[in-house]
Structure formats: C-alpha cells, structure tokens
Structure 1
Amino acid sequence: MMVCWLGLVMFMMLSVILYFLSVYFLWKNLEIMMEWEILSLNSLSIEMAVMLDWVSLMFTSFVFFISSMIIIYSSEYMADDKFISRFIYIVILFVLSMMVVILSSNLVFVLLGWDGLGLVSYLLVIYYQNVKSSNAGMLTALSNRVGDASILLSIMLMMDLGSWNYLMVGGIKESFLGMLIVMAAMTKSAQIPFSAWLPAAMAAPTPVSSLVHSSTLVTAGVYLLFRFSDLLVEISSGFLYISLATMFMAGLGANYEFDLKKIIALSTLSQLGMMMVIFYLGDKNLAFFHLLMHALFKALLFMCAGVIIHSIGGFQDIRFMGGLVQSFPVCCVCFSVSSLSLCGLPFLSGFYSKDLIAEFLSSTMEGCVIYFVFFLSVGLTVSYSVRLIFHVFVGRSSSLSLIYSNESGLNLMLSSMVLMSVLVISGGSVLMWLGFCTPYFMVLPQIMKLMVFLVICVGVFLGYEIYYFKASSMSDSLNFYNSSMFVSGMWNMPFLSTSSLNSLFLSAGKLYMENMDFGWIEYYGSKGLFSFISGWVSCLQMMMRNHLKFYLLLLWGLFLVLILLFIV
C-alpha cells in the first residue's frame, strides 16, 4: 500500500509541474534539445537526446496524471492480490518506458522505450496466469515485434547521417523511411491487418487496460507519426484508407459484441483509426488534441467498467447486467459522462476534438467514400455507446443473482473516477483555449454543419433499436448468425493473425530446424569442425603432457638418421 501512495504523490506532482511547464513553453514558443554523447565510432555518434517542447511536456503530464489515478485505483481493485507491490512496480516500469518514447528524439533510445513497452505489456497481459492470458500475451508480443523490426531498419537507414536524431531526416530516402515508420505505428496502434492483438490484450487486469488504451501503449504509434510527420506527405494517401477501414470495422464490430471490456477495446481501435485519418489528411495538431482528449475519457470508461466487473462477481457479459443504476449511481454518472464524451456530446471534452475533426474532414472533401464512411463510423460510435448504457444501467435486470453488490467500500476507486470525470468535463475547453493560438474557423454549408448532430441522433436511435432487437427477439437474431460472427469477429482478423499463419510458419520452422540447423549446418558447421580437429587436438595434448619423452624420442630418431647418412 505504501508503494501505491508513493507512486500517486510522485506522479501527481510531476503531472502538475509538467503541465504548467508545457503551458509556459507554449506561451513562449520554446524548444529545448539536450544531448549527451555516450559513444563515438569514427563519424557515427551514439547520443542520448531529450526533446522538450510543449507537445512532449503536455503528453507527459497527461500520462503521469492518468497513471497516478490508476495506481490509487489499483490499490483497491487489486487489494486481494498477494503480489500487488510487484504489480505496481511493473506498472511504473511501463510508464517509464512510455516516458523514454515521448521525451527522446534519438531513434535508438526510442527503440529502447518501444521495446520496453512491448516487453512490459507482455508481462501485464499474462499477469493472470492461464492459457487465455498466455495466448493473448504471445499474440501481443509477436504483433509488436513487426514494428520493432521496422524501427531497426529505420535505424539502419539513418546511419548515413552520422546521427539518429529524427530532426535530421532530410538527407535520406524519405519515402522508404516513412513507410517503415508508418509500419511501426500501425503495429503499435493496431491498424489493419494488425488489429487482432488489441481486443486479445483484454486478458490483462482492468487497471492495465485503462492505462494501455488511454495514454501509453496504443498511443505510442500516433505519437511517433506526429514526430515524423514531415516524412509522410507523399505516402499518406494510401494509408488513409487503411485507417478508415479500421475505424469502420471496429465501430461495426462493437455493435455486435457482448463482452464489456472488448466493446471498450474496439472503441479504442475506432478512435485510433480516427486519429490516423485526420493525421493523414494533414492536421497533426488536431490529431494530437484528440489523442489527449481520448486519453481522459477512455481511462475513465475502463475504470467504470472495472468497478462493475469487480463488484458483480467478475462477469463481463453485458447480457448478465442491466438496471445497475440503482446499485451504482456514481459509477453510472461517470460512465455516462465518459460515453457521452466519446460520442462528442456538447460541451464535453470529446466534443471539442471530434467536432473539429468532422468539420475539418468536411472542408477537405477528399472524396465521397471517405466522407460517407467517416460519418458512418461516427454514427456507429454513438450507436454502441447508447447500446452499452441501456444494457448495463438502464435496461431490465438480467442478472443470474437477485443480490447486487453496491459501491460501498470502494472509496478510493470512486474518488479517482470522480476526479477523472471533472477533467473529462472541463479538460477539452481548457486545452482548446490554450493549445490553439489561432482559432479554427470552418466555413461550411448548413447541412454539413448539422451533419454531426444528425449522425448523433441517428446513432442514438440505432443503438436503442439494436438493444431492443437483441433483448426482445433472440430467436430472430439467429437468422443473422453467420454475418454476426463475421462482423463481431473483426472480419476474421484474429483467425488470419493466429491459426492460418501459425501452421505454415511453425511447419517451415520445424523443417528448417531438423534439416538445416540440426542437419547440414550442424555437420559442416561447429560440430563437424569440432569432430575434425578433436583428433589433432588430442595428439597435441598428448605431446604437451609427455614433452620429455617425445624430446628424447626425437633425439634418438635424429641420431639414427645421422648414422644412416654417415654409413651411406
């Protein structure tokens, strides 16, 4: 418990200090670059570089604040765990790895933090030691290794510059480096075809899910794109459609899902797709703004889900919930605030970023397909949020037990949630006034201005209809079983990422290991060479151990040779 309070105090103080420091840097338009040379090899210098500007300081402040809330939340959520101190230490290590990614401007040190995120996330996903957690952790680790390999290739490309600082990327082949950076960001932010690991990572404890999906692991990819934004001008058009498809797939799948945590995970996937769409359209500041707002309300959403799961006996299926508003009034208010902020309801924090994103996309008009799919995905976001609220809080009770737990005895968890909800309500407006020196002024036709409001209304109606259809006519829903399984299964993405690929690569690996590694390479390699020289080595060892005898024998032989020569 002492570790939790120390982590809370330390992270909260750092968050407040860094927030006001970021506001000062923004006001003065300051940027500070610090470098320490670690090793120098000819013209290549290995340096530890730290980049301090208002972006890195603001993001660091948000990460520290959310981490402090989750640490004090975990002290009560994981109170029955024997190894809670070890859990808190792993969470702190996770946050520090994210700090390395945020503050470092050297790609080698970014890789250290990047690998740290992957390793510690694996430890957290397998924290509940069972088969499901093990499979989910392996899928998460192996998916992220693709991004690690991309960063390694990027480091190789940047060696010609004599430095790995991403501020010096102008003198190399920018298109290929940009492709590698985008590939790394896609794996970390779970874009298609790497989307399967994000819902699978829900095997981790709920406080870990809250931290991962709000401000650490999945946001590292978007932040890396933000830092390398100058490289992505030429190649962004093709990846725009991938992010748009990810956004649509996650929003559609969440309307068919019944697992509470997986619905919120698919919501994270949809919002990451939205950030990347607006990033590829050319407004990185707006994508970063939505990244910060999303961190607030998504952390609160997972914390509310954790209270419900913790209190009703570990159930995560929303079909076994319903009517919880009387037993969980504070949790219901916080859950509704975060869900409505996710939908973009005025004037919560999500409204300030999502409304600007929708109007910016309307003003660019890249094409009718992009416009239609984007607004359809926004409507699906509202739909699954309303469906979730009806299933969990407002609808009729479907519990297996007539006795509900309540919120009594959860003071620390509720206190952290209430503090987070205050920022979810007011954080968007404050950051909007501070972050944008020049206000966004979108001139659009009236129908396009009202499109967001119309989509929200249609989404509310659709979410209620899906809830009513699923709740009242389960037999009719079986007629759509195949399509429901396809959509809720993320377009067969988990199957394509695991079963279909594992058999091929594992069979090829077994064949290579038996015939090459244990076969020809072993025979002509180290083992064969050892067998060849072992006989000579034994002779040399015998001579060294009996050197006096060999010396006398050689003298006797030499004497005989001389006698024979003399006689001849």
Structure 2
Amino acid sequence: MIFVSLSNLIFIFLIIFSAIFFILGLLMVNVSYGLYISFNIFSWGSSDILLVFLFDWISFIFLSFVLFISGSVFYYSSEYMSGELNLARFVMLMVGFVGSMALLILSPNLISMLLGWDGLGLVSYCLVIFYQNFKSLNAGTLTVLSNRVGDVFILLGIVYMINYGDWSFLGWLGMDNSLFLVSFLIVLASLTKSAQIPFSAWLPAAMAAPTPVSSLVHSSTLVTAGVYLLIRFGWVYDFWLNEMLMIMSVLTMFMAGLGACYEFDLKKIIALSTLSQLGLMMFTLSVGMIKVAFFHLLMHALFKALLFMSAGCIIHGYKGWQDIRLMGGMLVSLPFISSSFVISNLALSGMPFLAGFYSKDLILELSLMKEISFLSLMVLFLATGLTLAYTFRLIYYTISRGFILNEPINLSDGSGVMIKSCSGLTLFSIFFGACMFWVLMDITLIVLPMFLKNLTLFVCIAGLFFGYFMSQFSFKNNRLNSFFSWMLGSMWFLPFLSSEPLIFYPLLKGNEMMKFSDLGWLELLGGQGVMSMFMKFLDIFKNFIFMGDIKIFIFIVWLMLSAYLLI
C-alpha cells in the first residue's frame, strides 16, 4: 500500500513538472531564447571545473517527454510490481535513473554530463540485475561493461579538453578542425550507449530487467543518451565522421530488422525494434538532419513506451509467458490492451497520421534528396521494409490468429491502473505527431520524382507481404536453413563475438599470469620471497654464532680482515 501511494505521488509530481517544462519549451521555441547557468566548483591550474546547465527548447522539450513517460511508468508499476519484493529499492533506483537522465539532458559540459552519463550506466546495471538470478547477472554484466567503454571515451575526451580549458560544447564553436580527436571519442561513446554495431549485444540482453524498467530504458532514457549526445554536439563535431556513422547505422538497422523477424520472445522483438530505430536516428544525424533526428527521438519515445507497457500487460496476463508462438486471440481476451498494442506497432511502422509517420516518412523522403551512396539508401529502405515485416508478424502471432492453448486461461486487462497508464500514451501516440510537427518542423516543400515519392509506400507494402510470408510458412529444417536462422536470430553472432572472446581469453591469460608470476617467480623474487630468504639467512647466521664454535667464527673474521688489508 505504501508503494502504491509513493508511486502515485511521484507520478503526480513528474506529470506536473512535465507540463511546466513543455510549456517553457514551447516558449523557448517561439522566442528563440536560452538560459545558460554556470557554477564554479573549483579551479585546477588554469582550468575551472564547472557545473553547467543549459535551459533551451531542446532540453526543456526532451525533459518534459522523459518526465511524462517516467510518471506513466511509475503509475504503471504500482500495479505491475505490486507483488514483488524489494519495492523500496525499485523506487529509489527508478528515481535515480530519471535524475541521472535529467542531469544529462541539462548539461552542455562534458564533466557535468559525465555525472548523468555514468549514473545511467550504474543504475541500469542495478535495475537489470533486479531479479537476482544468473540470467540477470550475465545480462547486467554485459550491459555495464559495454557502457563502460563509452564512459572511458568520454573520460579521454575530458582529459584532452584540458588543453582548451573549457569542456562546454558552446566554447567549441569557434574552433575549426582542432577537435578532431574529441569528436571521434564522442561519436564512439554515443555508439556504445546507443548500441550500434559492434556494441549491439547488450541491448537485447537488458530485457532481463522488469518490464516497466524496459519501457523507460528503451524509450527515452538510456539508449537515447548516445543519440542525444550527438544531437547536442552535432553542430560542432567533424563531418568526416558522417561516413563511418552512416555505415554503422544502416548495418545496425538491417541487422536488427532481420533478427526481429527470426525472434519469438516478445520483449526481445521490441528491443530489436528499438535497436533499428536507434540506427535510423543515427543515420539521420549522419546526413546532417539534426532537428529531424530530435523530432523522431521524441516520437519514438512515445510509441515505444506504449509498446513496452502494453507488452508488459500481455506478459502480466499470461503470468510471465513471453513466447509469441503460444499467444493468440487477444482481441477477445484483452481488448483494450491489444488495441493499444496494435496502435503502438502501427506508429512504429509509420502508419499514416500516427506519431511515427510524421518523422519516419520525413526522414526517408529527405534522405532521397541528399547526396548519399546508393548502397546506403538501399539498405535503409530494406531495413524500413523489415520494420513492417516484423511488426505485422508480431501482430499476427498475438492478435489476429485464434487461441493456441487448449486449456482454459484467465486473461484480463488488470484492475485498471495499467489500462489508465497506457491510455494517455495511446492518445499521445495518435495525435502528438502532428502537433509536434507543426511546432518544430519548418520544412514546407519536398520535391521528388513520382517513382521516388512512391518508393516508401512500395517498400512498406512489400514488407507487409514479407511479414505475412514469414508468419504463414515454415522453412525446411535442414542444416543451411538452421544455420541462417541461428545467425540472423542471434544478431550475426554479435553476442558471442562481443562477450565470449572478451571474457574467455582475458580470464585464460589472467590464469596463466597468476600461475607463472604470482604463484611462480614473484613468489620467490617478490617481497614475500625475499623476506623468507632473508629470515632463513638470519636463522643460519644466528645458529652459526650462538650454537657453533667461536674459534671458527674468529678465524673467518681474521681471514676477511687480512684479505681486505692485502688488497
């Protein structure tokens, strides 16, 4: 009961501040105004260590979306997590998670941004291992170690920026090509946090966390931190990195789309769709469309939070079952949740006049107007078609077909709290895309030939047919098909390549080093070995003096003195 009251209180608090920040963000957009606040913590040589906050329309609007989704997740958790243990720890971790994200959003300074950046990694590890089993421990370890790579790149960037005495990106605008190394480190850090190739293995593994945590992490906080970092620094980083960013982003989209088509775990399919959308945002940044990428980041936060929360209701109704092969007929058993689930999936796939349509269609059409290689464009549109394919496959498995289980099951939409929390996000996923497009976007005309204008529609229809084909027909179980299913379903072996070699070989070499150094030569030549040899020599000397013949000792001393005098 205390947990429910505390969750409702935090929900009201976050919703009120979300509305305030959204109104302030709209005012900032209208007047083109920003507020820069700096606190001098201490001075180190010629450099000042500052805590800096930047209040402009980007930070205000994104923070309002984060707080709104976080409030909905807290309200949703009051029913979803009601039977769990350690609820006080869950609430504190979630509050710390939201606070770290708010610090990251408001910080234009690399040092103060690192506090929020590192706080996200630490709290996400604690949330992933919340259920305290071996699967959660492995997933949390992979998550925190992958994110530590990005933290190291940020730290290296901070160390290099001591040369300039300023860690704020606003101070970089006058520097031409002197930030070559820092921009490279920042792009690498954003690739790790946003799980682009080759750092993609941790994002599906983070599904071991509770579903409310997954809803918050995969919509607007942890995975979007890397995209937000590049949005903040996008006006100043060196544009030679665009080619590398474009290749990695389109490969990530394609890999995640293929993997989702071969996956049967409900939460993992949604996690791979998050990976695909992050690749789309990175691609948008690589072609220089920073404002459009920010717009898609906002829209993705809305429908992805709704998708995870409605999927959590389905899992809650199925008593923890996540395999979509044994689901079906939810249009009858879970009418409201299934409708929210379908709306969020359609918004993800870019259904016209839903939230995802205004950003995804804009990205695809503007990409056709840019000078981009044909191969990158082809993989981009193939990945878009795969988004339709796994979305339609997921809807077919869970909603369209009839009941699969023969025994009677008792499914319900819950006591009403989860339905209410999903209803607000459902309305926002339907109407807010058009509203934010009118407010943020100033694009008036897109001129394309007829066949390019219809290319997006053709790819989407082809993806629908491919998804129907994937859900209806089963492939022959021979070795070649089994290998391709294994390869595509395991994200091109990235979990094995990025986890097992990095764990097995360092542990093997560490064991050899311990055997040949700590337990070998260092045992004899180190401090303990030298001390033991000295003590043995001292014992021999004492025995020789006190227990031996004194005449022999005097004779040896006389010989030594005689030799010294003769020399």
Using the size of structure 2 for normalisation, the TM-score is: 0.90
Structure 2 residue matching 1:51: 3-state secondary structure: strand
Alpha-carbon separation, structure 2, partners of 1:400 and 1:165? 62
**How does 1:99-118 map onto structure 2 within 5 Å?**
99-118=102-121
- CA 1:484/1:83 → structure 2, altered by over 3 Å: closer, same or farther? same
Structure 1 residue matching 2:50: 3-state secondary structure: strand
Give the corresponding residue for 1:425: 430
1:479-534: per-residue Cα shift (whole Å, max 9, x none)? 62111111011000000011222111112233344555676678777768988999
Structure 2 residue matching 1:373: 3-state secondary structure: helix
Give the corresponding residue for 1:289: 295
Give the corresponding residue for 1:493: 494
Alpha-carbon separation, structure 1, partners of 2:152 and 2:387? 33
Give the corresponding residue for 1:190: 195
The one-letter code of the counterpart of 1:198 is L
Measured after TM superposition, the shift of residue 449 of structure 1 is: 0.8
Aligned residues: 530
Give the corresponding residue for 2:250: 244
The one-letter code of the counterpart of 1:179 is F
Give the corresponding residue for 2:336: 330
Say if 2:142 is the partner of 1:139.
yes
Give the corresponding residue for 1:415: 420
Q: Which moved more, 1:375-384 or 1:365-374?
A: 365-374
Say if 2:464 is the partner of 1:463.
no
- CA 1:530/1:115 → structure 2, altered by over 3 Å: closer, same or farther? farther
- CA 1:308/1:16 → structure 2, altered by over 3 Å: closer, same or farther? same
The percentage of counterpart residues that share the same residue type is 46
Measured after TM superposition, the shift of residue 39 of structure 1 is: 0.5
What is the Cα-based RMSD across aligned positions, in Å? 2.0
Say if 2:396 is the partner of 1:393.
no
**How does 1:351-370 map onto structure 2 within 5 Å?**
351-370=357-376
Structure 1 residue matching 2:255: 3-state secondary structure: helix
The one-letter code of the counterpart of 1:69 is S
The one-letter code of the counterpart of 1:441 is L
The one-letter code of the counterpart of 1:461 is F
Alpha-carbon separation, structure 2, partners of 1:476 and 1:148? 44
Alpha-carbon separation, structure 2, partners of 1:317 and 1:96? 34
Alpha-carbon separation, structure 2, partners of 1:522 and 1:50? 53
Give the corresponding residue for 1:98: 101
Measured after TM superposition, the shift of residue 401 of structure 1 is: 3.3
Measured after TM superposition, the shift of residue 454 of structure 1 is: 1.2
Alpha-carbon separation, structure 2, partners of 1:192 and 1:519? 41
Measured after TM superposition, the shift of residue 367 of structure 1 is: 1.7
Q: Do 1:161 and 1:168's aligned partners in 2 also have CA atoms closer than 8 Å?
A: no
- CA 1:43/1:315 → structure 2, altered by over 3 Å: closer, same or farther? same
- CA 1:347/1:37 → structure 2, altered by over 3 Å: closer, same or farther? same
Alpha-carbon separation, structure 1, partners of 2:98 and 2:375? 39
Q: Do 1:175 and 1:235's aligned partners in 2 also have CA atoms closer than 8 Å?
A: no
Structure 1 residue matching 2:42: 3-state secondary structure: strand
Q: Do 1:150 and 1:184's aligned partners in 2 also have CA atoms closer than 8 Å?
A: yes
Give the corresponding residue for 1:507: 508
Which of 202, 210, 226 does residue 221 from structure 1 map onto? 226
Give the corresponding residue for 2:128: 125
Structure 1 residue matching 2:53: 3-state secondary structure: strand
Unaligned runs of 5+ in 2: 537-567
Say if 2:447 is the partner of 1:443.
yes
Q: Do 1:12 and 1:65's aligned partners in 2 also have CA atoms closer than 8 Å?
A: yes
1:79-132: per-residue Cα shift (whole Å, max 9, x none)? 101322221111111010111111011111111111111110000000111110
Alpha-carbon separation, structure 2, partners of 1:226 and 1:510? 44
Give the corresponding residue for 1:561: none
Measured after TM superposition, the shift of residue 404 of structure 1 is: 3.3
Give the corresponding residue for 1:545: none
1:198-254: per-residue Cα shift (whole Å, max 9, x none)? 000000000000000000000000000111111131221122111110000001110
Give the corresponding residue for 1:14: 17
**How does 1:330-349 map onto structure 2 within 5 Å?**
330-349=336-355
Q: Do 1:188 and 1:221's aligned partners in 2 also have CA atoms closer than 8 Å?
A: yes
Say if 2:83 is the partner of 1:77.
no
Say if 2:29 is the partner of 1:26.
yes
Alpha-carbon separation, structure 1, partners of 2:80 and 2:511? 44
- CA 1:532/1:236 → structure 2, altered by over 3 Å: closer, same or farther? farther
Say if 2:314 is the partner of 1:308.
yes
Say if 2:242 is the partner of 1:272.
no
Measured after TM superposition, the shift of residue 7 of structure 1 is: 0.8
The one-letter code of the counterpart of 1:348 is L
Q: Do 1:182 and 1:225's aligned partners in 2 also have CA atoms closer than 8 Å?
A: yes
Q: Which moved more, 1:453-462 or 1:264-273?
A: 453-462
Q: Which moved more, 1:393-402 or 1:351-360?
A: 393-402
Which of 213, 233, 244 does residue 239 from structure 2 map onto? 233
The one-letter code of the counterpart of 1:168 is G
Q: Which moved more, 1:510-519 or 1:46-55?
A: 510-519
Structure 1 residue matching 2:332: 3-state secondary structure: coil
Which of 186, 193, 205 does residue 210 from structure 2 map onto? 205
Measured after TM superposition, the shift of residue 457 of structure 1 is: 1.2
- CA 1:527/1:426 → structure 2, altered by over 3 Å: closer, same or farther? farther
Alpha-carbon separation, structure 2, partners of 1:420 and 1:101? 24
Unaligned runs of 5+ in 1: 536-568
The one-letter code of the counterpart of 1:493 is L
Q: Do 1:107 and 1:164's aligned partners in 2 also have CA atoms closer than 8 Å?
A: yes
1:264-308: per-residue Cα shift (whole Å, max 9, x none)? 000000000000001001111111110000000000000011001
The one-letter code of the counterpart of 2:81 is M
Alpha-carbon separation, structure 1, partners of 2:310 and 2:11? 19
Alpha-carbon separation, structure 2, partners of 1:521 and 1:101? 46
Q: Which moved more, 1:295-304 or 1:508-517?
A: 508-517
- CA 1:449/1:506 → structure 2, altered by over 3 Å: closer, same or farther? same
Give the corresponding residue for 2:481: 480
Give the corresponding residue for 2:47: 44
- CA 1:372/1:523 → structure 2, altered by over 3 Å: closer, same or farther? same
**How does 1:366-377 map onto structure 2 within 5 Å?**
366-377=372-383
